[in-house]
């Protein structure tokens, strides 16, 4: 496939860096906020919150796309544990900046961005391949179907 065709297939979103770095991985997307304390299992990197759309799914090594954090200040402690247990997300893309979200992103050391020129929840779907370059403020999305995966 030519570089021109690949470039046309890539969606680009720009945003603001919260935590620098570059990472990429499969997207895991939810429109639900995530609770850290009692909402995730840091041993597996899985969402365990009852009635959450991602319940039972692991975000380990994936780019987590979601509105933001909810719950107590324990959010950052739980996500810090995911880093220590090597189950942290590869990156965070979130819409609402709060102190718990900022601290949670910092303690995981995963590239994190917010304040986008386009809402990532409308551009990214679970299974898309996402490259987060927080240092440059650029997100590149390759849609799942364009990668040749089953739609």
DSSP, collapsed to helix, strand or coil, labels residue 23 as strand
- Sheet containing strand 138-142, strands side by side: 10-14, 138-142, 129-133, 22-29, 63-66, 91-94, 112-114, 16-19
Contact yes or no for 25/132 (Cβ under 8 A): no
Which of 35, 72, 73, 76 is flagged as catalytic? Answer: 72
Whether 58 is catalytic: no
Orientation of helix 99-108 relative to helix 74-84, angle to 10°: 10
Do 50 and 117 form a contact (C-beta atoms < 8 A)? no
Residues labelled catalytic: 72
């Amino acid at each position: 496939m030519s570089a021109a065709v690949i470039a046309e297939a890539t969606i680009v979103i720009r945003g603001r860096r919260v935590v620098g770095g570059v990472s990429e991985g499969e997207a895991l997307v939810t429109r639900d906020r995530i609770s850290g304390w009692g909402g995730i299992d840091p041993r597996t990197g899985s969402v365990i919150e009852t009635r959450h759309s991602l319940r039972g799914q692991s975000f380990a090594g994936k780019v987590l796309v979601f509105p933001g954090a909810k719950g107590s200040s324990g959010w950052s402690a739980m996500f810090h544990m995911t880093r220590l247990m090597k189950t942290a997300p590869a990156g965070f893309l979130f819409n609402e900046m709060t102190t718990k979200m900022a601290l949670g992103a910092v303690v995981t050391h995963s590239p994190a961005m917010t304040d986008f020129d386009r809402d990532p929840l409308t551009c990214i779907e679970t299974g898309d391949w996402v490259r987060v370059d927080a240092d440059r403020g650029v997100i590149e999305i390759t849609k799942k179907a364009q990668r040749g995966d089953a739609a």
